[in-house]
Each structure stands twice: as structure tokens, then as C-alpha cells.
Amino acid sequence: MSPLRSAGAPAKKRTREELRELWRVGIKQTIILNRMEKENAHLQARQHEIKSNEIRRVKLEYDEIAVCDKRSAEQWDTLLDSCTAGAIPTNQALLYQAMKNGVPRSKRGEIWMYLAEQHAHHHPAPIDTTNFPNFNTPYHVLLKNLTEHQHAIFIDLGRTFPDHKYYKDALGVGQLSLFNLLKAYSILDPELGYCQGLGFICAVLLLHLEEADAFELLKHLMFRRQMRAKYLPDMKQFQLQLYQLSRLLKDHIPELYEWFDQHDISPTLYAAPWILTVFSSHFPLGFVVRVFDLLFLESFDVIFRCAIALLEAHKEPLLQRDNFEDIMDYLKNVIPKIDAEVMEKVFRNVFRSDFSRQLIESQVEYNVLQEEMTSQNHHRESYNRLKEEYQQLNTQLQFSQSNLMQLEKTRLLQQDQLQSLQTQVQTLENTVHTLVRFIEQTVDTRSDAVLPNDVCRIVQQVQDLQHQQQQQQKKRSPIFVDRKIGKSISFNSNLGLALNVLEEATEPDGPGTPTKKKQPYFQNSFTQIRQQQQRTSLWLHKLDECNSTSPEHGVGSSVTGSTGGLSSASMKALSGNSDDSGIATPISPQLHAPSTTPMVAESRPLVPFENHPLSSCGDVAVQYNGTTQLKTLKPRSQSRHGSVSSIVSEPSAEPRPQIATDRS
């Protein structure tokens, strides 16, 4: 019980008549409410029907150029009823004859679906859905997903039939339906997604069908009729179709083909929208829907037949345009404004023509050309790659040539230096031979002379070398001789290089042997050598006179005088304090590493030099005590004129001593 009622006066109990009246009023109100709800539902249905009819009327509000008569409409109604009853697929010839008579506008969507079913019955090959996992997903489920092509689709909505009432309003019913249809297909076919031109196909379908039915028909066109290939990113099928149209134009309208080719007008400039949008982007809807009728009845070949028929119908006006701008203006602006007469002429030619065989031939031809172009592109890429490699190698070659020229300059410079050094070596070797010859002559003439051990060692080594040369001369073949002369070359010298002399086979001098030409060195100094020999003989004569007067002191001074005329260069060559330890075997100052490679020795006649060979021995003091033994050697500072130590000796009846050698 309510607390308010409990607080007041107690409720009066109603009578039977009052309760009956209350029930009667409630029942009447319920009946009235049900009637009102039914009336509202009926009104809403009528409003929806009116709205649908209005939308349908707006959709089909386009000028139909070829009007379908009543007989043709009844024929299509019969075909549709038979399809609904599950009858056997209709004969293709009957459908073809019905299509010639026309298609009713109000039944066009149903007829398209019927023709699609007929094509599926005649071509039952299953569709490969491996790469399309959402192929069998219902339309309303696809709409719940998102697509990455949403922005591109929104941009093109306002460009699709902007003058048509159904698509005129921004984000209106028509544009939203078109967006849903394109969105669903982009989710179904992620490889293609969305492509410009596809919106016109969908828009034509939506004018005659609901969204779900239009989506099924779009799948039929894209997969069953292979239209999706021309929208793929690579556009290979689209390029093939342009080539096929060009070949058909050349075969059937050669004059127009030549005229277009003369003005550089290719099918890409005018036929690209015809193929991509099935004429819907430029031509009136009355012409477009007739093309769609034939497209569902036959195949995509209808596009080529319609294009050739249009160009043939406008052949004469096109040939009268004599420049690029006028021809393109006529193709884009005049041809799309088709009237009933031209349309009837065009479709008469379309129904009469058949390009199936020529399209197959042109496709094969195009594939062959593509293979050749691919091969040429491969060769071109190989050529470019080889060209780059050639440029790199050419750069390396230029760099190598530059280095080679630099090395050649260095080689020539080193060759000049080598020739200079060889000349010096040759001169010094001749000096060594001359010194040895002079020593031998001195020993032969001076029986009481005692030479230092180093000098004796050099003389002995030279004799050994001469002996080897004589042995080799007998064999008449060049040999390699190790010209390491003197102990100081390997021990006392910092360089320790061997002398390399080319040894040649020579014939012994005889009465009939022609005299060899002297070396330039001897040509320049021969007169000076003779003068020095005369001075030496005079000094020896004075030495003998001194020996007869003062036996103890005369000999040393005479010998000193006799050697005073020797050149300082010869004294340095035989000096024990020199860099070569008194050995006249010069070592090239430019070489800093020992060389053990023997050279071919060459025997040359010993010709006396102008400088005395013992002139460099001025730092050695020699004293003779009456015997043939060397007693003491006292170092003496070398003077400017290079006076040598005296060789002290006494007259003795002993035989002439031999050259003292020290092998240690």
C-alpha cells in the first residue's frame, strides 16, 4: 500500500460497474494505438517506397538514345521469369537477338545480373581465390573494415558523374553508396586496391542496382571477365589493349591511322579513358549503358568494336583536321556528343563486326615484341654496365699510364746514373790494373823493394783473376767472376760491394793483330804519363848516385823523392787509412747494400795511367836496415804533395825478393 494513501483517508472500494468501465476504456485505447501503429508503418512503407522510387527515378534519369519497344520488354520479362523458375540457360543466339532489339531501362540491372549468370553457366571454370581470402565475405561485413585507399576514394567521388543528380550532392546518398562499393572492393582485392577509372564502372552499376547486387556484379566483371588486369599497377594488360586498338585501326581504317601517325596522335591520347572507364567518363550514359549491355552479353572485345565504329563514323571530319590541336579537340569534345543517328550507325557496325581472331593475333605479336624489347633492354643494361666498367678501367688505365710514364722517367734517370757509375767503375778497374802493372814493374826493376802486405794481397788477387781470365779465354765462353778484391771490401768497408767487369775472350797480341783503340781516358792522359815516366827515371838515376855517396841515408831519401811525384789520388787509393783500406777498388757511394751478383769479366790490356799508382802511400814511413824484411812502419802526416815513406835498403848480393803476401 502506498504511504500517501495510508496517510490519508482509506480508499473507497470500486464497484463492478466501475471496473468494467475501466476495462472497456483500456481496451478501446489499445485498439486505437494498434491501429495508429499500423497506419504509421504503412505510411513509412509508402514514404520509403516513394523515396525509393524517387531515388530509382533519379538514378535512371539519363537520356536513353535507343528506346526499347514494348515487344522487346516483354521478351526480356519472359527470359527473366524463366531464369527465376530455374530453367535451362537460354540460347546465346536468342539473347543476342534480344539485345539487338534493346534493353528496357527499368529492367536493365536485373538483365545484367541474368546475363552474368548465363556467362557463369557457359564458363564454369572456378576462380582462383588463393590470393583473395575475403572473396566470399559478405558485403556488409567488408564495410566494417578499414582501407588504406580511403583518402584517394574520397578525392575521386566528386569527379564521378558530377552532373548527375544522384552523385551531385557532396557526401550525398549517391556518393556514400559509391564510397562503400569502392571501399569494399579495395578490401577484397588488396593487390589492386583502388585505381582511377574504377569509380565510373561502379557508378554505372549503382545506377541500376543496389549496393550488394552492384558489388557482386563488380566482382563478376573484375574476375570472370578479367577486367582487373588492366587496372593493376604494372598496366601490362592496358598497354596490350592500346596496341590491339592501334593494330585494328591500321587494318580497318588505314587512312585514319596514317593521318594520326603523321600528326603524332597515338591511341594513348584519346582511347585511354575509353578503355579504362568503358566510355563512361566522356560519353553520355545512354551510349554507355548500351556498351555495358553488350559487355555483359559478350566480352571485353566490345570495347574495341565500339572504338573502331566510332572512329569510322567520324573518319571524314577527322581527315579534314590538319593539325594536332584540332584533331585532339574533335576526339575529346565532338565524338562524345553522340546522337541517335550516329549511335544507331555505330551499333549496327558493332553487331556486324568480329575482331576476335585479329585480337588474338595482335596479342601474340605484342608478346613477341615485348620479349624482343625485354631482350633489348637486357642488352642495353648489359651495355650500360659494360660501359661503366670500361670507363672505370679506362680511368685506371690512364692512372697506370701516368704512373708508367713517371716510372719510365725514373728508369731513364736511373739508367743515366747507372751508365755514369759503370763508367766510373770501368775507369777505376782500369786504374787497378794499371796499379798492379806498375807494382809488378817496380818489383821487377827494384829487387830490394818491399811492399806492404795489403798491396801484395791485391797484386796476388789480380794475378789470380788474370789467371782465371786466361782459362776462360781458352774455353771461348763468357764466365761470371766474383770480383771481391781486397780484404777491406768485405770487412773494413761500409758497403762491401764486388766489382763487376765484363770479361771477353781476347786473342793474344801478335804481329798481325791490329792495335785496339785506346780508351778515352788513355787518349787524354797518354802524353802526361810519358812525361811522368821520364821524371821517374830521372829520380831513380839520382837515387843511384846517392846510394854511391851515402849508403845509409841516400836510399831512403831517393826513394822518397822517387815517389813524391805520384798523384794524391793514387796515394789515397793505396792508403791504409782510406775508406777502402788502401785498395784501389772504388765503391759507388750511391749504393748502400752489398751485392753478391757476379758480372762477366772482360780482359783488357794494361796501359799505364798518368798518375803514379803508389802516390797515395804517403802516410806510411818505410825504413830499410840492410835486409829484405820490413822492420817498422811509422805513420806520417800526409803533405800537400803526397811524399811517401822511404824504402831503406842496402846493397846485397841476395837474389831479387819475391812479392811478400800475407793471407791472414
Query: All 3 cell numbers of residue 373?
Result: 624489347
Q: How far is it between the farthest Cα atoms of the chain?
A: 201
Decide: helix, strand or coil at residue 633: strand
pLDDT tens digits for range 539-570: 666 666 655 544 444 333 333 333 333 333 33
Q: Give the whole-angstrom CA distance, residue 480 versus residue 596.
A: 11
Q: What is the pLDDT of residues 280-296, one digit of tens each?
A: 998 999 899 999 999 99
SS3 state at 480? strand
Express each pLDDT in 481-528 by its tens digit: 444 444 333 333 343 444 444 444 444 444 444 444 444 444 444 455
DSSP state of 620: E
- Side chain identity at residue 588, one-letter code: S
Higher pLDDT, 319 or 457: 319
| pLDDT tens per residue across span 74-84 | 888 888 887 76
Which residues are CB-contacts of 583 (< 8 A; sequence separation ≥ 6)?
454, 458, 485, 486, 487, 488, 489, 573, 574
**Nearest in space to 454 (alpha carbons), one of 559, 567, 574, 570:** 574
Condensed to tens digits (0 to 9), the pLDDT of residues 612-652 reads 444 444 444 444 444 444 444 444 444 333 333 333 333 33
Higher pLDDT, 191 or 530: 191
Give which of 122, 123, 110 is closest to 82, Cα–Cα. Answer: 110
- Per DSSP, the residues of 546-607 read HHHH-TTTHHHHHHHHHHHTS-HHHHHHH-TTSTTTT------TT--S-----EE-------
- Contacts by 144-150 with C-beta closer than 8 Å and gap 24+? 145/187, 147/183, 147/186, 147/187, 147/193, 147/194, 148/186, 148/193, 149/182, 149/183, 149/186, 149/193, 149/194, 150/183
Sign, CA dihedral 161-162-167-170, equals positive
| Rounded Cα–Cα distance for residues 129 and 189 (Å) | 10
| Radius of gyration, alpha carbons of the chain | 63
